[in-house]
Structure 1
Amino acid sequence: MKKINYFLIAMIIGVATVFTSCAKDEEIIDPNPSIDFKGGATYTSTDVTIKAGESILVGINAAQNSSTKKKLTKFTIVLTQNNTPSTLIDETMTSNQEAVYSQDFNITFNNEGTVKLVATIIDSDNKSDEVFFNVTVEPAGVVVKKKTNVELGSFNDAVGSFYSTSTEEVFTVSGAFDNQAKVDIIFFKGVTYVNALAAPDDADVNTTIPTFQLNTWTTKNQTRFIKSEMTAAAFDAIGTTYDFPDFGVAASSKATLLVNGDVVYFKTQAGKRGFIKVVDLYSRGDLGKFDVIVEE
């Protein structure tokens, strides 16, 4: 009889061991819901650099845990900049979103700096999952002003040859002498340089054109020029702001051999950057028409 009891006890222990083992096998390793960014050409899903004021499209796909089947309850997008979090989206799931959630968001970034975007999904068991990327927001550009159809004459023309980018004025020889500090650009025509724009401190314009009387000036602004690869159409497309490129070291005190449609990048002694587009040099050559864009 004792042998039978021992046998029954052994069987009970064995069955309990089997059930315990099965229970462990069925334990859910990852009970969290899932979330991912949508991919594709129109979506942003990884670190990105944009200009202030620009927008990105963020797409979200989320789903309840396939094992727990816990309902999705909440979705958030939090933006953190300078260690300060700000909740952009805080959405409670509707009944038709409790198993699967899919949504797109157009997000605009106005402030410069680095922003961490974190998207989080939470279920009814308070389990969660998140994804994130960083957005680097660069300056959108500076405010510019545009002056069109500026006519400048060469040294033998009645129209003034001297231009002020700050006041948008054209000066004759006498007027320029009285406003030396304002003059940034001089237009002239010659045998060597044909149609040219020069700074008041340019050696050639000072020595080869005595009628400009630059030898009497005490202030000669050091404007610098670079022949740009910008097209006339790209120049025309510039609006009220522009993100100027770095001004290269290969700049010159003059831009020469100009033809219609050329665009010249310049920087004044005051540090203002801008572009000049050659609109029309006319057939006679001693008169030019220009459009000018410059920083405010």
Structure 2
Amino acid sequence: MKKLFRNLLFFSAIGSVAILASCGGDEEEPLPTAPSIEVEVEGVEVSGSAISAVEGETATFTVVVTAEGLFNTLKIVPSVDGVAGTAQFIGKDEAAVTLTEEGTVGTVVVTYEFDAEDVGKELSWEFVGVDDEAQEASKTFTATVEAAPVEVVVYTETLIGGQSNATLGSFYDAEENKVYKYAETRETHSASVDFLFFYGDTNKYAIAAMDDADANTAFSSALNVTNALSAIMPTKNATKFKVTALTAAQFDAIGDVDALASAYGEVAADASKVNNLEAGKVFAFVQASARGSKKGLVKVVKTDGTSGTNRSITVTVKIEPSED
């Protein structure tokens, strides 16, 4: 239970309520009106006394105790899954308390940062305001905590050259955002290539897997090598593709893996290429099993070039992160 208060900035000391003795005679004076308590919560979603938080968020509790019989102490009792922890007491003389001149209103601000250990548990805090006559008023808040969204990996404006472009590489590694030329791919990097770019009279601007037949034809012709991909490349990862109806703006809005999975959809990618690409088009891919089968989305930023020697495509890639 100590863990629950690791981030609560109470700056408090354990104490007990001081009850003032009556100075009257034989007749007891009537007790003042019992205190009241108000708690405002900021930084998280709140509905009544229920808090919905996400890992990494911080809840700020502003506790105001109004007591005709003078503010004495704020007691806070935490619990996890219904099991109460050690109460903490913040007395009226502590620095954490802002007290009105007459002493009837005490304000305390405390914070709690939700972390991974809180996910899936029910947390609660009972705030108890106590006056000098030991009269109490309380308010309880409960919190449920969700895991923080897992962000997608984003590579912006990666430039890839066509099969006859001697300046730019044509083979792309979506894990490392690296582009390789044919020779270095063949010699050392074929196992890490997820897709390539080629241009053809029919396919126009096309992204394909290494095992695509049209890509093999295009590179074989450009390099004057028989079966430049199908026979010579040591590894030909069978990345699969599909077109999407996503707009560029919808693609740009995707920031976490849940949003990416939703945009990818339930229909599996099963094509070895996507073709006739142009700026603004968005397509989906899934890596070969040897590469982790991670899903990704690609937005075409720009297509360029007027001949085989200068054809290129610029893309932005969003892909699921690798598991630790």
- The TM-score normalised by the length of structure 1 is 0.64
Structure 2 gap ranges (5+): 1-30, 222-226
Q: 2:207 maps to what in 1?
A: 197
Name the stretch that deviates more: 160-169 or 102-111.
102-111
AA partner of residue 153 (structure 1) = G
**Structure 2 CA distance for aligned equivalents of residues 229 and 277 of structure 1:** 9
What CA RMSD, in Å, does the superposition of the two structures yield over aligned residues? 4.3
**For the Cα contact (< 8 Å) 1:147–1:291, is it kept in 2?**
yes
**Structure 2 CA distance for aligned equivalents of residues 154 and 82 of structure 1:** 63
Q: 1:55 maps to what in 2?
A: 58
Equivalent residue for 1:164, pick from 173, 177, 181:
173
**For the Cα contact (< 8 Å) 2:196–2:207, is it kept in 1?**
yes
Following superposition, the deviation at residue 79 of structure 1 comes to 6.2
Q: Mapping of 1:1-296 within 5 angstroms? A: 33-38=35-40, 44-46=45-47, 47-64=50-67, 69=69, 71-76=71-76, 78=78, 80=80, 85=85, 90-93=89-92, 95-96=99-100, 99-102=104-107, 105=110, 107-111=112-116, 113=119, 114-124=121-131, 125=134, 127-142=136-151, 144=153, 147-158=155-166, 159-178=168-187, 179-202=189-212, 205=215, 210-211=220-221, 213-216=228-231, 217=233, 219-225=235-241, 227=244, 229=246, 231=248, 235=252, 243-245=256-258, 246=261, 247-252=264-269, 253=271, 254-269=273-288, 270-284=292-306, 286-294=311-319, 295=321
Q: 2:19 maps to what in 1?
A: none
Deviations 1:35-85 (A, max 9, x none): 44437x976433454443233444444444x7xx57452142736379685
**For the Cα contact (< 8 Å) 1:45–1:58, is it kept in 2?**
no
Deviations 1:239-264 (A, max 9, x none): xxx53222533242444443324454
- What secondary structure is seen at the aligned counterpart in 2 of 1:281? strand
AA partner of residue 52 (structure 1) = E
**For the Cα contact (< 8 Å) 1:44–1:58, is it kept in 2?**
no
Once the two structures are aligned, what percentage of the paired residues are identical? 23
**Structure 1 CA distance for aligned equivalents of residues 83 and 202 of structure 2:** 60
**Structure 2 CA distance for aligned equivalents of residues 264 and 44 of structure 1:** 35
Following superposition, the deviation at residue 132 of structure 1 comes to 1.3
Deviations 1:110-160 (A, max 9, x none): 32513513141231426352311223131342584x555532122333233
**Structure 2 CA distance for aligned equivalents of residues 128 and 91 of structure 1:** 15
Instruction: Give the number of the structure whose alpha-carbon radius of gyration is greater.
Output: 1
AA partner of residue 91 (structure 2) = T
**For the Cα contact (< 8 Å) 2:54–2:146, is it kept in 1?**
yes
**For the Cα contact (< 8 Å) 2:193–2:237, is it kept in 1?**
yes
Following superposition, the deviation at residue 234 of structure 1 comes to 7.2
Gap change, CA 1:291 and 1:86, over 3 Å in 2: farther
- The TM-score normalised by the length of structure 2 is 0.60
Instruction: Give the number of the structure whose residues are more often helix, by fraction.
Output: 1
Following superposition, the deviation at residue 222 of structure 1 comes to 3.5
Name the stretch that deviates more: 197-206 or 149-158.
197-206
**Structure 1 CA distance for aligned equivalents of residues 216 and 83 of structure 2:** 56
Gap change, CA 1:118 and 1:225, over 3 Å in 2: farther
Gap change, CA 1:60 and 1:170, over 3 Å in 2: same
- What secondary structure is seen at the aligned counterpart in 2 of 1:38? strand
AA partner of residue 92 (structure 1) = G
- What secondary structure is seen at the aligned counterpart in 1 of 2:304? coil
AA partner of residue 45 (structure 1) = V
- What secondary structure is seen at the aligned counterpart in 1 of 2:144? strand
Structure 1 gap ranges (5+): 1-27
Gap change, CA 1:73 and 1:232, over 3 Å in 2: same
**For the Cα contact (< 8 Å) 1:36–1:131, is it kept in 2?**
no
Gap change, CA 1:280 and 1:111, over 3 Å in 2: same
